[in-house]
Amino acid sequence: MNVLVINCGSSSLKYQVIDSETEQVLAKGLCERIGIDGRLVYTPAGGEKEVSDLDMPTHKQAIQFVIDALTNEKTGVIASLDEIGAVGHRLVHGGEKFACSTRITDEVIRAVEECSDLAPLHNPANLIGVRACQELMPNTPQAGVFDTAFHQTMPTEAYMYGIPYEYYEKYRVRKYGFHGTSHSFVSKRTAELVGKPIEDLKIIVCHLGNGASICAVDGGKSVDTSMGLSPLEGLIMGTRSGDIDPSAMEFLCKKENLDITGILEVLNKKSGVQGLSGVSSDFRDLQAGSDEGNERCTMAVDVFCYRVLKYIGAYVAAMNGVDAIAFTAGLGENDSVVRRKIVSRLGYLGIALDDAVNDSTRGKEAVISTADSKVPVWVVPTNEELAIARETVALVK
Ligand code: AMP
């Protein structure tokens, strides 16, 4: 079955068509600047990337252009829409309502809408994509795969914040966690690579990309994760602050004459390694700056790595041990310097890094610890689209 995987944002939309039998990507791309002007990027497997400026006033129009590209006589990958067996949507916030993926029904849409005040930027945009697909493909089954669902197994002690309980009762303010599709996919794959049943393993997954989070996976279940009510908590990220004393917000609001929206804009978009370095949110730029002697670039990377190191320690404690550590996402898969800075400080766990393998590992599966390391450390590329396609097939079959 071919699955159309959609990740819909407020003005953009990423898509892939995946053949679920071979798990090959038939075509992928994105629509950008929806509602502004519009641009379609389309890459068929083995073909040239095409970029077209097209008028995209709505998401429905954007998805129509995607369908046109997929069924184009010359460069398309399917003859007609009938060859799409299902649509899988990435949905960001399922609150406490969704502990697993689900077939999309009117009731599910209403429930996702009810979670929207927990993710006001993401959920409404995700649902626009769902509705547009329903209109354009009314007979094709659709599934929703939530970023938060994998973490619904966290115990109360891990997800409660130390604030008045009534805020949890009234508004469900608690830790939810994100990147769940990735943490689930990578932990499963790590267990396969380690060669043991996931039920018997304690795995720490470090998803280090522009957005970054860590997850403690005990017996295949998420028992703690670094992101919280929103994706702002936890690690230092490309432009997000991660953990910070909430009092700093009031202090900065007064000093900088900001309101709550203004300070959240700073913490989400101007902080992280971008804010620390003053150079870039991209670690390749920070590495180049560091090589040229820019001390703030070096400091930003060090602060980032130290926060990861602390969370690993915390999750070893939370699980009373660890059997494998996995690095994934843009940085985790590609940046050997960041991996070395973190893993070389895990000697207390009997972990030893194989520097040569680490240095040569980019974007591929590899064990980067030495043969006698007490705990294996793996690089495991994530594939959220494939995970969404697999979940979708399982739901619609
Ligand atoms: P992601 O959000 O998973 O796409 O990760 C994006 C981040 O990964 C970028 O900001 C880069 O800092 C980092 N990254 C991607 N490719 C490389 C690479 N080849 N070497 C070092 N860092 C990389």
Q: How far apart are CA 149 and CA 166, in angstroms?
A: 23
Q: Is 370 close to ligand 1, i.e. is its CB under 6 Å away?
A: no
Q: Is 332 close to ligand 1, i.e. is its CB under 6 Å away?
A: no
Q: Is 335 close to ligand 1, i.e. is its CB under 6 Å away?
A: yes
Q: What is the mean pLDDT of residues 364-381?
A: 98
Q: What is the mean pLDDT of residues 281-291?
A: 97
The type of residue at 45 is A
Q: Whole-model pTM above 0.85?
A: yes
pLDDT above 90 for 121: no
Superfamily for the 196-379 domain: ATPase, nucleotide binding domain (3.30.420.40)
pLDDT above 90 for 192: yes
Q: What percent of the chain has pLDDT over 70?
A: 100
- Between the CA of 345 and the centroid of ligand 1 the distance, in Å, is 22
Q: Is 283 close to ligand 1, i.e. is its CB under 6 Å away?
A: yes
Task: Report phi then psi at 98, rounded to 5.
Answer: -120, 110
- How confident is the model at residue 337, as a pLDDT? 97
pLDDT above 90 for 209: yes
Q: How far apart are CA 132 and CA 218, in angstroms?
A: 38
Q: What is the pLDDT of residues 38-89, one digit of tens each?
A: 999 999 999 999 999 999 999 999 999 999 999 999 999 999 999 999 999 9
The preferred substitution site among 182, 205, 283, 290 for testing ligand 1, maximizing ligand atoms within 8 Å of CB, is: 283
Q: What is the mean pLDDT of residues 203-216?
A: 98
Going by alpha carbons, the residue nearest to atom 18 of ligand 1 is: 334
Q: Which atom of ligand 1 is nearest to the CA of 211?
A: 2
State whether CATH 3.30.420.40 applies to domain 2-146. Answer: yes
Q: How far apart are CA 152 and CA 175, in angstroms?
A: 10
| Sign of the alpha-carbon torsion through 6, 7, 9, 12 | negative
Q: Which atom of ligand 1 is nearest to the CA of 329?
A: 3
- How confident is the model at residue 120, as a pLDDT? 85
User: Which residue is it, tokens 């953990």?
Assistant: 243
- Packing angle of the helix pair 384-396, 180-194 (nearest 10 deg): 90
Residue 17's pLDDT band, with cuts at 50, 70 and 90, is very high
Q: Which atom of ligand 1 is nearest to the CA of 207?
A: 3
- How confident is the model at residue 320, as a pLDDT? 98
Going by alpha carbons, the residue nearest to atom 16 of ligand 1 is: 330
- How confident is the model at residue 187, as a pLDDT? 98
Q: Give Cα 339 distance to the centre of its chain.
A: 19
Residue 208's pLDDT band, with cuts at 50, 70 and 90, is very high
- Calculate the average pLDDT of the chain: 97
Q: Is 329 close to ligand 1, i.e. is its CB under 6 Å away?
A: yes
- The domain locations on the chain are 2-146, 196-379
- Residues labelled catalytic: 147
By CB atoms closer than 10 A (0-12, 13-18, 19+), residue 160 is middle
Tallying the residues shown for the chain, one arrives at 397
Q: Which atom of ligand 1 is nearest to the CA of 238?
A: 10
Q: Which atom of ligand 1 is nearest to the CA of 363?
A: 19
- Between the CA of 282 and the centroid of ligand 1 the distance, in Å, is 7
Q: Are 161 and 174 in contact (CB under 8 A)?
A: yes
Q: How far apart are CA 111 and CA 146, in angstroms?
A: 12
Q: Is 209 close to ligand 1, i.e. is its CB under 6 Å away?
A: yes
pLDDT above 90 for 344: yes
Residue 397's pLDDT band, with cuts at 50, 70 and 90, is confident
Q: Is 330 close to ligand 1, i.e. is its CB under 6 Å away?
A: yes
Q: Are 52 and 33 in contact (CB under 8 A)?
A: no
Task: Report phi then psi at 242, rounded to 5.
Answer: 70, -155
Q: Is 331 close to ligand 1, i.e. is its CB under 6 Å away?
A: yes
The type of residue at 388 is I
Q: What is the pLDDT of residues 302-315, one digit of tens each?
A: 999 999 999 999 99
pLDDT above 90 for 363: yes
- Between the CA of 283 and the centroid of ligand 1 the distance, in Å, is 7
Q: Are 55 and 62 in contact (CB under 8 A)?
A: no
Task: Report phi then psi at 318, rounded to 5.
Answer: -60, -35
Reference 100, options 172, 150, 57, 27; nearest CA is 150
Kindly calculate the radius of gyration of the chain based on its CA atoms and give it in whole angstroms: 21
Going by alpha carbons, the residue nearest to atom 10 of ligand 1 is: 282
Q: What is the pLDDT of residues 313-337, one digit of tens each?
A: 999 999 999 999 999 999 999 999 9
Instruction: Tell me whether the CATH fold assigned to 2-146 matches the one assigned to 196-379.
Output: yes
